[in-house]
């Protein structure tokens, strides 16, 4: 089908929104008529967010050859972990050391224990240190000490902290020096100092563990500008009081990690992989392999081995003759093409018989055990950023999977393919609530696209947008594209594409208002959904079946959605239900059957998470 000019423009602009937040300067756009009528020349102003480009007095005046302005997106940061803070319990010795406590540690006497507390040098994360100080400001009995030794509650807590790796945490973050069972009775002051340090140290470790288990070790907002989360608040003083009163310390501490089915599946997968032997019987296919039907390639033997190892029994039964008669030859025959196509279809890939990167990933079983463990550790950490309960009805987008999942009544009802932001226009990681479905939408072109992609054309041809059917306004007043000074600031210039069959947003968009201008929408570029790698947009999320998703969140039928679209009017339909949406990023995540699936790290975000883990470890060991 031949595309119209407007459709061609929409395709060129990747048919989506951008993810750039601008701090714009006031508009400074002269029209050609104002300049010709003798208006005072305006002072040259830079375009918003850029350092190149100078405003010229008229649109038809050609600027000297200089680099075109660019608007850039958020950046990734060098992770800064919180430095440890000394727990100031020396000033709290008097309220802690009462006659009741002294009786527990007889024959120390108040003076001996008080002296021991005043010399304690325990360091913890800022929140944990503050909580311990507050806790011991009113606490009237030791939590972890009985007499001159540690109690069973302490031993239980230590065991849970030592097993922190099972839930994706680092046991070294909660390590405490344990007093020896035997000691020199002639030097009780040394023993009291040892016990006091242990009492405070274990409380600090427990507080740190509780906070990490609930909200994670890593502050997502310190990873990059693409991460947008309000960190959970954890009442650590209350946690310490609960531990002090609890008769089941293990149960309490273990309950601090998320209890969702997704988290449990990730945890179980991690335990399973860690139990596996290091020796892996893996199929290896050269990474640069690209095998097409009719070609000859020695890697074909490994391709067939991969299908035998990772294909289903049903697939291998259907193609048993091709598998049985194959003799490791390099010729890619029609029978083997049919075998590969069946394997691709079974694994959700485009069944074209072309063996490339995506097919190789499935044929080789994906990541190594070590790679999978690393992805699980990141996934367990990131899962703590999300609410404990995602909601019985919610939408979950997993960017590395290029999929969106709709849940209702606590179960996945359907999923569909998506297109997400490209690596240079990444989709953010955040949560929100679905509010509106807009049918026959306008596309408001973001400033980043105006500057980065339209401006070069407009400087050569100011009437470009007029011909393409776009609407232009300066300061809210509709003007012709040809009348705008495209060498001045575009901060006050708005561009939008009216509803049409060529509209970049297609038939509808689904809004969850956020500061990143990200939403879900339809697209005329349906062919993109046939690709395996679908990080192709400017940041918004395109849906393969937009009517289906719109009907689900509105609680109506697809036919009713179709009627609204057929009416031809731009119309906003309010979503009445409370439906949270998670625009997430997990390279390991369970499917609806609880089986953990692994995905390519399309934005390389896991590497930044691992750097954050290292920075946190160093800070907590006093190296940072």
pLDDT digits (tens, 9 = 90+) for 78-101: 999 999 999 988 655 454 444 334
Residue 23 exposure: Cα atoms within 13 Å on the Cβ side:
3
Determine the average pLDDT of the residues in 420-443. 95
Distance of CA 551 to the CA centre of its chain: 26
Note if 407 is an active site residue.
no
201-229 burial code (b ≥16 CB/10 A, e <16)? bbbbbbbbbbbbbbbbbbbbebbbbbbbb
Determine the average pLDDT of the residues in 503-509. 92
Determine the average pLDDT of the residues in 171-180. 93
Determine the average pLDDT of the residues in 64-89. 84
pLDDT of the residue at 20: 41
pTM summary value? 0.78
Answer yes or no: is pLDDT of 32 > 60.
no
What are the CA-CA distances from residue 511 to residues 436, 450, 496 (Å)?
5, 22, 17
What are the CA-CA distances from residue 583 to residues 74, 100, 401 (Å)?
17, 54, 12
Catalytic residue, candidates 227, 394, 407, 540: 540
pLDDT digits (tens, 9 = 90+) for 462-493: 999 999 889 999 988 999 999 998 988 888 89
Confidence of residue 19 (pLDDT cuts 50, 70, 90): very low
Distance in angstroms (rounded) separating the CA atoms of residues 544 and 362: 23
Determine the average pLDDT of the residues in 7-23. 44
Answer yes or no: is pLDDT of 104 > 50.
no
Note if 538 is an active site residue.
no
Confidence of residue 503 (pLDDT cuts 50, 70, 90): confident
Determine the average pLDDT of the residues in 154-183. 94
397-408 burial code (b ≥16 CB/10 A, e <16)? bbbbbbbbbbbb
Mean pLDDT of the chain: 85
Catalytic residue, candidates 394, 516, 521, 538: 521
pLDDT of the residue at 287: 75
Q: How many CB atoms lie within 10 A of CB 237?
A: 17
pLDDT digits (tens, 9 = 90+) for 366-389: 778 889 999 999 999 999 999 999
What are the CA-CA distances from residue 341 to residues 123, 304, 319, 356 (Å)?
59, 12, 11, 12
pLDDT digits (tens, 9 = 90+) for 107-137: 344 566 667 777 788 999 999 999 999 999 8
Of all residues in the chain, what percent carry a pLDDT higher than 90? 62
């Amino acid at each position: 089908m031949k595309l119209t000019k407007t459709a061609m423009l929409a395709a060129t602009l990747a048919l989506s929104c951008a993810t750039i937040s601008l701090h714009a300067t006031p508009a400074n756009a002269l029209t050609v008529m104002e300049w010709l009528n003798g208006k005072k020349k305006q002072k040259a102003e830079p375009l918003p967010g850029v350092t190149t480009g100078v405003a010229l007095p008229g649109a038809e005046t050609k600027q000297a050859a200089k680099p075109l302005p660019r608007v850039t997106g958020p950046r990734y940061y060098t992770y800064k972990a919180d430095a440890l803070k000394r727990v100031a319990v020396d000033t709290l010795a008097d309220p802690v050391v009462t006659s009741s406590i002294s009786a527990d540690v007889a024959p120390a006497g108040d003076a001996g224990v008080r002296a021991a507390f005043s010399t304690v040098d325990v360091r913890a994360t800022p929140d944990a240190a503050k909580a311990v100080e507050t806790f011991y400001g009113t606490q009237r009995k030791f939590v972890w000490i009985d007499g001159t030794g540690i109690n069973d509650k302490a031993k239980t807590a230590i065991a849970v902290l030592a097993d922190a790796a099972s839930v994706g945490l680092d046991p070294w973050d909660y390590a405490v020096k344990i007093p020896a069972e035997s000691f020199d009775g002639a030097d009780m002051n040394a023993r009291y100092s040892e016990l006091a340090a242990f009492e405070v140290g274990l409380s600090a470790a427990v507080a740190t563990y509780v906070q990490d288990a609930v909200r994670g070790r890593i502050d997502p907002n310190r990873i990059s500008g693409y991460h947008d989360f309000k960190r959970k608040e954890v009442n650590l003083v209350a946690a310490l009081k609960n531990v002090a009163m609890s008769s089941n310390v293990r149960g309490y501490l273990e309950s601090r990690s998320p209890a969702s089915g997704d988290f449990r599946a990730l945890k179980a997968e991690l335990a399973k992989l860690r139990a596996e032997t290091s020796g892996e019987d893996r199929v290896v296919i050269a990474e640069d392999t690209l095998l097409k039907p009719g070609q000859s390639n020695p890697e074909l033997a490994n391709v067939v081995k991969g299908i035998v190892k990772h294909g289903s029994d049903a697939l291998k039964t259907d193609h048993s003759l091709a598998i049985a008669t194959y003799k490791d030859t390099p010729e890619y025959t029609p029978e083997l093409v049919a075998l590969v196509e069946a394997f691709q279809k079974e694994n959700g890939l485009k069944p074209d018989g072309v063996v490339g990167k995506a097919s190789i990933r499935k044929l080789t079983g994906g990541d190594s055990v070590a790679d999978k463990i690393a992805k699980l550790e990141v996934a367990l950490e990131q899962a703590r950023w999300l609410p404990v309960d995602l909601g019985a009805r919610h939408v979950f987008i997993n960017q590395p999977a290029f999929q969106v999942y709709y849940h209702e009544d606590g179960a996945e009802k359907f999923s569909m393919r998506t297109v997400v932001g490209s690596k240079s226009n990444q989709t953010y990681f955040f949560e929100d609530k679905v509010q509106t479905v807009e049918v026959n939408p306008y596309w408001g072109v973001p400033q980043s696209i105006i500057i980065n992609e339209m401006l070069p054309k407009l400087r050569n041809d100011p009437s470009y947008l007029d011909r393409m059917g776009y609407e232009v306004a300066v300061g809210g007043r509709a003007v012709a594209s040809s009348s705008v000074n495209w060498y001045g600031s575009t901060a006050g210039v708005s561009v939008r594409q009216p509803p049409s069959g060529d509209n970049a947003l297609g038939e509808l968009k689904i809004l969850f208002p956020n500061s990143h201008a990200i939403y879900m929408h339809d697209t005329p570029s349906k062919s993109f959904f046939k690709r395996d790698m679908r990080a192709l947009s400017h940041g918004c999320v395109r849906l393969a079946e937009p009517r289906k998703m719109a009907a689900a969140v509105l609680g109506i039928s697809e036919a009713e959605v179709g009627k609204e679209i057929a009416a031809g009017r731009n119309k906003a339909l309010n979503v009445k239900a409370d439906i949270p949406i998670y625009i997430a990023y997990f390279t390991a995540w369970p499917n609806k059957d609880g089986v953990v699936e692994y995905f390519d790290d399309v934005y390389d975000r896991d590497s930044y998470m691992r750097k954050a883990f290292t920075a946190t470890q160093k800070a907590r060991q006093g190296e940072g």
